[in-house]
Chain A
Amino acid sequence: MEIYRVILCSYVFSWIYILSSLPLTLSYRTTKVFNFAHPVFITYGAYVVIIVNEALGRRLPLATATLLAFVVGGLVSLINHLLLFKPLSYQRVSSNVYMVASMGLWFVYQYILYIACQILTRRYGANFLSYPTIEYEDVRFLQEALQLSSIPQYIITATLIGVAVGIALYVLFNKTMLGIALRGIADNATLAAVCGIPADRLVNLTWFLVGGITALSGVLWVNFSGSTTPDLGLNIVVDNFAAAFIGGLYSLPITAVASILLALVENMLLAVLNYYFGVQPTIRLAIVFGIVFAILIVRPPMGAGGGLPYRFTKRVIKK
């Protein structure tokens, strides 16, 4: 069995799921909005990179791609909040309304992107509807300088982006007042506001971070995959939501572990089942849902059901 290739796929997918699922959990626990349009940020992040790559004559550095995707993803997310979620919150609508509104938002963004791709394809000749792999110039330079050319570029890109985001989030939530304030809003927004925390501004910041970080998984995606289409977000939405649900839509560490678990299951387990038992790879989604159901039954993450998150349930059990 070609285990090396399977491990590489699992590694990259782990980072892609972590970068897209963590912000989903972060947005829900801070704002209590389950944003179905969340996968759009992945797609928009990827397409920012694609468009800039064409504009720069297919010589794009990772640093530029990361910065632009983060800013554009963050702004799209912030605009969503300011123009849709915030006005809805003033009307004190139920979570179902948010859900339906964000689904609608998803389709709107999806078709805006399709229209843009068709226009760009006709104008510039390159096929924006299905774009091939992008190699980053600065990463290539780094590979040559450090004699790492034998390692696929996407492994280096995934490691650089993933570790940087991981450290940044750890520092933000554990070492800064801003992070403590964000956690305060997540636990009890009213109490946080009473304590003088500017909840409105911090919610805006949260949405910006959510969009920005999710868009980075798009930056990684275009470096890894052989084809990027406007359906990118749609195609990984199941894994994305599954990881966040396993994390109870509350726990960032459990969401990260769930992302790794799903990536391993999808790649390693499927490869083993196919190689040793002749099971066709077409059962992928069934396996993902099987894992989700098993976890929900054996150890239900209560945050997902509107109940208490993990850390509180643990305390209750201890008592």
Chain B
Amino acid sequence: MPTSKKFIAFMVVFLIIGLAIGYGIGFYVGGLSAPQVGVTTERTYTLGVTFALSGAVSSVCVQWEPIVKMAIDDLNNLTKSMGLNIVFKPYILDDASTPDGALKNVQTLYAAGIRIVIGPSLSSQVKAVKAFSDANKLIIIAPCSNSPALAIPDDYIFRTQPSALGESKALATLAVQEGLKSVVSFHINDEFCNVFAQYFKKFFEESGGTVLYDIAYQPGQADYGSDVASLASWVSKLRPDAIFYCGYDTDGANVLTHAADEPALRGVRWLTVEGFYGAPEVLTPKVVDFARAVNMVGIRPVPIVNPLYDEFVERLKKYGAVPTLCSENVYDAVMIAGLAVIRTGGTSDPDVLRRAILEVAKTYHGPGGWGLFDENGDRLQASFRLWTMSFVNGTYQYVDIGYITDSSIVIEKTP
């Protein structure tokens, strides 16, 4: 018992001394860190990013990571120059090019307290995250999705790539102007290409053309040789004037490599979209020779003349990246998000942020052009560049050969 009493007495004294020391330290430290007039503390604002850094479209999307860093640097330089106390940081996750991966990432980012997410890349992925975004008021700014099926008003999804509705109409108009009367459509079975093919058919047939047959191939295959053989069979049978092709980087390289071996496919024009634009694996001597033999022409929604785009391409080199599909839209997505955050003083309120994004976009001009969104939250744009692949200055390159506006189609170089 005496030992026990001694122990209790010791503990009480120890507690009192501890409290006294703690109070003293607390008072001193608290006094030092108390807010003072005219002194600001730095606040970190994290922007979530979900990109396809692995999987089917990764070869294009890995080039977007440095672009995000560039945009974040620009935002931080801006806040610093304005004397603001906001520091932006990206939280980048890989969604493996799958809709499930994108949804998991978006949920993870939301759980981490993030309220604006840049990405995902594909329309199928945007479709997968839409319900979660709507339910939780999570703002999604997708830089490369442009399926018309996702042009929905009053949701929390913005797209810095214009909807493909106008693009499909422009391509159909080009086909008619080029004297093409019949087309076989060949495309990957996914959200963007299915809907693009559907609208292309609609506009082409309204202009007097005919889509003779439509072949969709399954994504995620190891090889597409047998699909190309099916296409060749149909082209031999139906004798169309052209093939409309919609695919992406990995499958595009595969399809075009096999098509180059197929005599039946070398005798028709090829029209395509921006799906594999910028993908380096497509630029092999075999594929470029094929593209030249079939007068391949692609379309992509980029402003015709934009000094900001040229400056952006030049600056990208310092970040070790090259311009690929949608790279300018990635930059614009981060900038619009950041500027909206700055405008609201760093709020996390999704409705305030949503309104700020719409307002900021009205006056924003970036490498992708004017940022203005339409009633569906899709970037408004009515001009497109025409491109092909060619051998220029000793290297195989993607080259712009013309443009399409509301009123005219101009082809400056022969494909």
Contacts and interface: CB of A to CB of B under 8 A. Distances in A.
Interface of A: 1-2, 5-6, 8-9, 12-13, 111, 114, 118, 121-122, 126-127, 129-133, 152, 221, 224-227, 229-232, 235-236, 266-267, 270-271, 274-275, 280-282, 284-285
Given A130-B253, A224-B223, A227-B254, A281 B215 contact: yes
Interface in B182-228: 189, 215-218, 220-228
Interface stretch (B101-109, B154-162, B173-181, B229-237): B229-237
Contact of A133 (B218, B251, B257): B257
A135 B222 CA distance: 19
A12 to B, nearest CB: 8
Interface of B: 53-56, 58-59, 62, 189, 215-218, 220-230, 232-234, 236-237, 249-251, 253-258, 261-262, 264, 279-282, 284, 286-287, 320
23 contacts: A1-B233, A1-B237, A5-B229, A9-B223, A9-B226, A13-B223, A118-B53, A127-B279, A130-B250, A133-B257, A133-B286, A225-B222, A225-B257, A229-B58, A231-B55, A231-B220, A235-B222, A270-B230, A280-B215, A281-B218, A281-B226, A282-B189, A282-B218
A280 B216 contact: yes
A226 B58 CA distance: 16
A5 B281 contact: no
Nearest to B225: A9
A281 B255 CA distance: 14
A227 B53 contact: no
B281 A227 contact: yes
B62 A132 contact: no
Contacts of A266: 226
B250 A227 contact: yes
A128 to B, nearest CB: 9
Contacts of B236: 1-2
A114 B284 contact: no
Report whether over half of chain B's contact residues are helix, strand or loop; otherwise say mixed: helix
B249 A130 contact: yes
A226 B258 contact: yes
A236 B215 CA distance: 22
Contacts of B281: 127, 130-132, 227
Contact of B234 (A131, A221, A230, A275): A275
Given A5-B229, A232-B222, A274-B215, A118 B262 contact: no
Contacts of A282: 189, 216-218
A270 B224 CA distance: 12
B230 A274 contact: yes
Nearest to B189: A282
Contacts of B249: 130, 227
Given A118-B53, A227-B251, A227-B253, A5 B189 contact: no
Contacts of A225: 222-223, 225, 254, 257
A167 to B, nearest CB: 26
B279 A130 contact: yes
Contact of A281 (B217, B251, B280): B217
A270 B233 CA distance: 12
Nearest to A7: B229
A16 to B, nearest CB: 9
B285 to A, nearest CB: 10
Contacts of A236: 222
The winner among A111, A132, A266 for most chain B CB atoms within 10 A is A132
Contact of A132 (B55, B221, B257): B257
A301 to B, nearest CB: 25
User: Which 4 pairs, one residue from A and one from B, show the smallest C-beta to C-beta distance?
Assistant: A226-B257, A235-B222, A226-B254, A5-B229
Given A6-B229, A133-B257, A284 B221 contact: yes
B321 to A, nearest CB: 10
Given A9-B229, A231-B220, 9 more contacts: A6-B229, A133-B257, A225-B223, A226-B223, A226-B224, A229-B58, A231-B55, A267-B226, A285-B218
A129 B56 CA distance: 9
A231 to B, nearest CB: 7
B233 A2 contact: yes
Nearest to B262: A5
A66 B391 CA distance: 32
Given A127-B281, A130-B249, A280-B215, A271 B230 contact: yes
Nearest to B321: A122
B229 A267 contact: yes
A126 B59 CA distance: 10
A130 B218 contact: no
The winner among A127, A152, A230 for most chain B CB atoms within 10 A is A127
A271 B390 CA distance: 32
Contacts of B232: 2, 5
